[in-house]
Structure 1
């Protein structure tokens, strides 16, 4: 009986982990990211810590998918998450919110830290990109940066960062 209870507990833990993680990449999915964001917001507010949210949308992802196929698009998404995870600390969180949209929450970081990180991520996406059928493909992204201030709802914070991202995307002449 004890063995059966332990096996069921392990299966429940596995199911919960699957429910919070993206099926294609090692990033959190939207549900998992919002759960982490909620806890981190509460921690920051309780301990008067700073945090910044980066909201990222890949530029020209649809044409990439259309030209090279969904397998190439999937490889690009995995490459993006690999870069995001390599460039964040354990206290940060990386989420794939859907399609080609990603978010990173950086703990104990200022708006300036977030802007610097966004710039570095854009450089790495372009230079590292991904390999597909023997060819290197650079990537580009629009990244909105929004510091934690008085937000108490993670969805509001995400919406603010998403708006900041769209403002950045509108600044790019070939991206609309």
Structure 2
């Protein structure tokens, strides 16, 4: 006949093992729930600070990140960039809003590729901005950078079995200090609208741009 003390001891040990296993399972579930909540919180933070279409930082995030970059720039020259697509409404009207969205995504990707590790953002609609670290801020460099960016943006954009071409008006302006970001963006914005008005004042140039916008293959 089994010793009652031995049986009781075995039952107690089994109960302790079961209790420990249950506690371990509860701890695992709690850790999984915490990880899920953290992931959801991070996703919410990302959604609040990024454009859902292009994945670029939005306007609010751009100003916050730019302020940090300006504080940590350590004397490096910085250039503010503002760009706006020309006659973007024609894309939506001619090809549909899905095509317009694809154009915006392509423009965002090309701007990000041009900027490299620098900050770029979609401010809203077809307006984008950036803050670039540069080797210099002389006029020749700014003109060269503006031309390169415009050429990159004007390359054909594939849309299924067709392609479209869009042009952009671009403005660049040096940022002279952490407190001068808003002023630099205003100057870049003014330069961008001057470029747009110069294009509008050239009928032949506008005709060519409109034809490129409508081309598809």
Task: Compute the TM-score of the two structures, normalised by the length of structure 1.
Answer: 0.86
Unaligned 5+ residue runs, structure 1?
none
The residue that corresponds to 1:103 in the other structure is 129
Encode CA deviations 1:72-101: one digit per residue, 9 max, x unaligned.
1111101101111222222x0111100000
CA distance in 2, matches of 1:108, 1:94: 14
SS, match of residue 14 in structure 1 = helix
Q: Which structure carries more helix by proportion?
A: 2
CA distance in 2, matches of 1:20, 1:38: 15
Query: How much has 1:138 moved relative to structure 2?
Result: 1.2
The residue that corresponds to 1:125 in the other structure is 153
Assess if the C-alpha contact under 8 Å between 1:54 and 1:114 holds in 2: no
CA distance in 2, matches of 1:109, 1:100: 28
1:81 to 91, 101, 108: 108
**Relative contact order higher in (CA < 8 Å, ≥ 6 apart):** 1
Say how many residue pairs are matched.
Answer: 171
Pair 1:169–1:109, CA change in 2 (3 A): farther
Encode CA deviations 1:114-152: one digit per residue, 9 max, x unaligned.
43222112112222x312242221110000001111461
Query: How much has 1:53 moved relative to structure 2?
Result: 1.1
Task: Compute the TM-score of the two structures, normalised by the length of structure 2.
Answer: 0.71
Query: How much has 1:23 moved relative to structure 2?
Result: 0.8
CA distance in 2, matches of 1:133, 1:49: 42
Query: How much has 1:3 moved relative to structure 2?
Result: 4.0
Mean CA deviation greater in 146-155 or 13-22: 146-155
CA distance in 2, matches of 1:167, 1:37: 24
CA distance in 2, matches of 1:109, 1:68: 41
Query: How much has 1:153 moved relative to structure 2?
Result: 5.2
Larger Rg: 2
CA distance in 1, matches of 2:105, 2:56: 9
The residue that corresponds to 1:36 in the other structure is 65
CA distance in 1, matches of 2:177, 2:115: 24
Q: What's the RMSD between the two structures over aligned residues?
A: 2.0
